[in-house]
Structure 1
């Protein structure tokens, strides 16, 4: 009886939460969420969703950004599918979408595998060197490679002269046959370092005992890379290919600064063509540019689906 009385007194001493108190706590939580997340969501709505919705609206208009909008229905899309420059630009994107992911992924995988499994003491230094281009802005990378390709004082021609071959001050970016392919080295150089770091971090999660067993069986570096490393980090490779594939579709900055689509449209890509249609004084048409943007969005979604099918998910465990 005394214990019951004591417990009832103790229970009476604990104040019960009032309805007003709970409402106040909930209000504080909502205020905190609004202040913490609200600005980010507002920026997303204002600078991402709203422009995307407006681009769908403009795709059915003829508008130069100043004069009155004119509704043209599907005319922009009909003209786009008949526009040979669109398909030529897409063919250049196709080259980048195929070559850029393959070369960047292979080079990054090989470098990461060697740095992890060779046990170089200088591996941290190499990581910094490989990652250095990612610290530089795209414009800086582009200007460096413009200097390398320069015909008069370019580094590439200087290397050829060093080995006794004088090509007469050849301007590499002025030849329509080579200009597109010469855009690949700066793109690869600017991205390899990032993926080397990603692959190295993924490889560190693989037990060393698997590599040791393979070495005892006489497996070469290529065999270990092919049979152990690649299958076990397949999810990371899959995401890498997806990013690089979509990056090949959206290529813009390096091409804009290096060639602006030239010479004679040999390096023009769909993103740059869309940009010029919207902002060039000669062809200023936001409606047509928006239609191209919607077409580009469909290509991006299709590319994502294609990557999912070509690089299936794996359930490796170790």
Structure 2
């Protein structure tokens, strides 16, 4: 029997056909795998953002027929003193909350990573505990602490000899805005504490051992070794905190609802009240405020990228 040989051209053609089929199947699998996520992104993120641009040109209460007003919403926006007051409160939170959260989380993570405490596991759970609670629960808890009649804060002040009477910390203009900062810091430290601890575990121990041999103190090691090597992670954490501060308003809604007399109003809460308030319902004007907020967040992100080093740490 003679041996049948396949010509080289036919073999190359079959190989090419098989490779094309494999590439097609790979692309089809990637498309099918990405379709749910891409569809969700288009439906719940991209489409609402595009419609917000359209709504910002309308006067619409969500029920009656919308009226096209062009740029009148933006003209009203720049003359609205309540908007700029709310933005000032957001700016104040942005200048105070992220630095406090980063510093406290960084120090706690460094201490538990580099010192052997007897109850270190329990301390980790204790620090992360606020993140298990919802924002509403945390807000109600701190509202109880600030209560003037039976609040924990006034009771502790009386124990140390500072009798402030029945001072309602959330009901007075002088203290209401500042009283919102500790709940946000307390609720954010645990999350970033865990992130910083995981990041510190990747730093080679040889760097700390060399610093100890040279007589470096804990603070020197923290600010000369740990802090610079973790700067990319700190930078990303600061961006996330900044976004949360400008967009979030749940704790303000629960604790003060913007009062007293608008002294704790923030831009997210003001936009929410404009869109869904019974007497001020105007989706168009609320969308215009959302466009302003979008521009502010983009500019803030560009400023952070400009003045913060964005390079990988090298050991």
* TM-score with structure 2 setting the length: 0.91
Between the aligned partners of 2:211 and 2:40, the Cα distance in structure 1 is 52
Structure-2 residue corresponding to 1:165? 162
From 232, 236, 240, the counterpart of 2:237: 240
Do the aligned partners of 2:232 and 2:312 also contact (CA within 8 Å) in 1?
A: no
Of 298-307 and 242-251, more deviation after overlay is shown by: 242-251
Q: Distance in 2 between the 1:208 and 1:19 partners?
A: 54
Q: 2:283 aligned to 263, 269, 286, which one?
A: 286
Aligned-pair CA distance for 1:152: 1.5
1:120 maps to which residue? 117
Separation (CA, whole Å) in 1 of partners of 2:164 and 2:175: 15
Alpha-carbon RMSD: 2.7
**Number of matched residues?**
313
Query: What residue number does 2:257 align with?
Result: 260
TM-score normalised by the chain length of structure 1? 0.90
CA 1:99–1:25 in 2, change beyond 3 Å: closer, same or farther?
closer
Which residue number corresponds to residue 134 of structure 1?
131
- SS of 1:169's equivalent in the other structure is coil
CA contact (8 A) 2:58 2:67 kept: yes
What 5-or-longer segments of structure 1 have no aligned partner? none
Partner of 1:303: 300
Which residue of the partner structure matches residue 97 of structure 1? 94
Q: 1:273 aligns with which of 266, 270, 273?
A: 270
Contact 1:246 1:303 (C-alpha < 8 Å) held by counterparts? no
From the superposition, tell whether residues 314 and 44 of structure 1 become closer, same or farther in structure 2 (CA, over 3 Å).
closer
The answer to whether the 8 Å contact 1:97/1:246 transfers is no
Q: Which 4+ runs in 1 deviate beyond 6 A? A: 17-22
- CA drift of 1:208 comes to 1.3
Give 2:190's match in structure 1, choosing from 185, 190, 193: 193
Paired residue for 2:141, among 131, 140, 144?
Answer: 144
Q: Which residue of 2 aligns with 1:75?
A: 72
Whether 2:222 is the aligned partner of 1:222: answer: no
- SS class of match (1:172): coil
* 2:148 and 2:168 in contact (8 A); partners too: yes
Deviations along 1:154-205, one digit per CA (max 9) or x if unpaired, are 1111212333433222111001111111111111111101111111111111
Cα displacement string for residues 102-155 of structure 1 (whole angstroms, at most 9, x for unaligned residues): 111111111111111112242222111111111111111111111111112211
Look up the SS of the partner of 1:47 in the other structure: helix
Q: Tell which deviates more after alignment, 167-176 or 153-162.
A: 153-162
C-alpha distance in structure 2 between counterparts of 1:262 and 1:282, whole Å: 18
Q: Does the 8 Å contact 2:59/2:67 carry over to 1?
A: yes
Distance 1:73 1:203, change over 3 A: same
2:58 to 41, 44, 61: 61
Distance (whole Å) between structure 2 residues aligned to residue 72 and residue 17 of structure 1: 63
* Aligned mates of 1:117, 1:178 — CA distance in 2: 38
